[in-house]
Amino acid sequence: MAGSLIIVSEHPERFSRLRLPDREIFRWRPDGKLEGEPHEAFQGPLDAAATYRGVARSAGDDVMAVLDLADPRYAAAVAAALREAKPDAALLVVCDAQAPVFPRDATVRCVSWPDLLREELTAELRRLELRRRVARIRRFAAGARVLPLLMQDDPDPDGMASALALRALLHRRAADSPIISLGAVSRPENQRMAELLRLQVTTVTAEELGRFDRVIGVDMQPTLIEVVPPRLAVIDHHPPRPGWSAELVDIRPEYGAVSTMLTEYLRADDERRIRTRVATALLYGIKTDTASLSRGASAADAAAYAFLQERADAELLYRIERPAYQPDLARDLGEALHTMAVDGDVVAATTRPRREEELHVLADLADFLLGVEGVRWAAAAAQVEGSLVVKIRHTGGDPGAGELARRLAPTEGAGGGHASMGQAVLRPEEAADLWPALANEPARAARELAHRMRTIAEQLHGESTRRGRGKNRNAVQGPAVEEA
């Protein structure tokens, strides 16, 4: 239910254009008249309860009042009169002097105009400062026929979203502001983002980069780049590193994502112009860099996140964040779960032979298996183009999944990973007990695998207990295979 606001001011014109979305406004006027304003007027002596009785009746239950009066004693008398007519009205008294005459009452608040304006003023100044930064970036870009936006070597969602947003901020098209990198987008989920957002990343050589006249680096600092274009701007959130300089630098290490910086630029410039595609990209950029605001996020990141969430395409974001399963592949997951074998705190499942690009099915399966009650180790295995691939998950701590993967794969270098995730790749002859069963008796293969893993896990546990709580237990020894 909408509430009401009673305004009593010696300068009624201060409030003449005030609109509040959820409150009807009753404003005192010496003559009781308003002209063309969306308020109700009332009149009468300010310190008489009778002045407020009519208003109190039509104002409903939820009544607040603003008293803007120079003399605190008079304000106290006005407050008393208003309270007599409406005993539970909450009062905001705008008063420059200390006002000891007010009772200690949680529903009476005294505040001076400067205090009241501080937040507004701070916000306005901040917006102005952001506009100054935007103007500086535009000056840098002005006149450039081609202005590439440079990201780090393996571009991530924050970099890609920031580049896309920067292009929008500069009102440039893809042709005259290509999004470039010295490397290529390697992670499948990042490729999916680029594809779904129709965002093209162009790989350039160091030589090609050096031939541009000016470049803007986003989400990176050009520490390792040998030939930097003569004119350089850098917008980043990594801690400042030595060894480079640029004509224009905006680095804010306290920010969780450069996407937040770009969101602020775009909002200060003209927030109505922020398109769904850009908002979706920026939201995903903040999400990935801050693990959905759970890691290294500032108040600015949270504000940008909330703002973008209302403007992003939720369905598109869902598709970017989650792999698209072909129906057959989803059915395979169900079949794989049927093979599931539990051995102590180890669980394993196998699935039919997979192609290299379907490896994410094994990862998803292993992730799911780790959720089985009482389980600390999970494995999902399949024949993948002539090898046995085992994705391993561990609830955490050392010895971890990477170590178990190394023991599982007899060949050096074919197993590895982190404490919680690992992968082992075995040649058919190294998996002699599993290999034939994988095709014909997948449930038996799962049982064999679970048993083998349990044996290794127990060995590892025994060794680590004997070693005691040794030093540097998180270190990964030996060659490691990157988790796909």
- Residue ranges that bind Mn ion, judged by CB under 5 A: 158, 219, 289
Distance separating alpha carbons of residues 220 and 39, to the nearest angstrom: 53
Q: Cβ(216)–Cβ(140) under 8 Å?
A: yes
* CB 298 to Mn ion: min, Å: 13
- Cα–chain-centroid distance for residue 29? 49
Decide whether 219 or 398 has the Cβ nearer to Mn ion.
Answer: 219
155 or 229: whose CB is closer to Mn ion? Answer: 155
CB 150 within 8 A of CB 278: no
Give the residue closest to Mn ion by C-beta.
158
- The CA-based angle 451-457-462, given to 5 degrees, is 130
Least Å distance, CB 146 to Mn ion, is 25
Q: Is 328 exposed, middle or buried (0-12, 13-18, 19+ CB in 10 A)?
A: exposed
Rounded to a whole number of angstroms, the minimum distance from the CB of residue 339 to Mn ion is: 40
Question: Strand, helix or coil at 388?
Answer: strand
- Give one DSSP letter per residue of 33-66, joined into a string: --SS-SSEEE-S-TT-THHHHHHHHHH-S-EEEE
Q: Cβ neighbours of residue 287 under 8 Å, at least 6 residues apart?
A: 157, 293, 305, 321
Q: Contact at 8 Å (CB) between 63 and 88? A: yes
What's the min distance (Å) between Cβ of 189 and Mn ion?
15
Q: Which CB, 86 or 237, lies closer to Mn ion?
A: 237
| Edge-to-edge strands, sheet with 248-251 | 201-203, 179-181, 149-151, 214-218, 231-236, 248-251
CB of 165 to Mn ion, least distance (A): 13
Q: Least CB distance from residue 284 to Mn ion, whole Å?
A: 12
Q: How far is the CB of 31 from Mn ion (least distance, A)?
A: 60
* Residue recorded with tokens 């304006």: 117
Tokens of 356: 């290299």
Give the angle subtended at the CA of 173 by the CAs of 193 and 211, to the nearest 5°: 95
CB of 171 to Mn ion, least distance (A): 24
Helices (H) and strands (E) in the chain, counts: 15, 18
Which alpha helices (DSSP H) does 187-257 contain, by range? 188-196, 206-211
Rounded least distance, CB 151 to Mn ion, Å: 10
Q: Tell me how far apart the alpha carbons of residues 153 and 162 are, in angstroms, rounded to a whole number.
A: 15
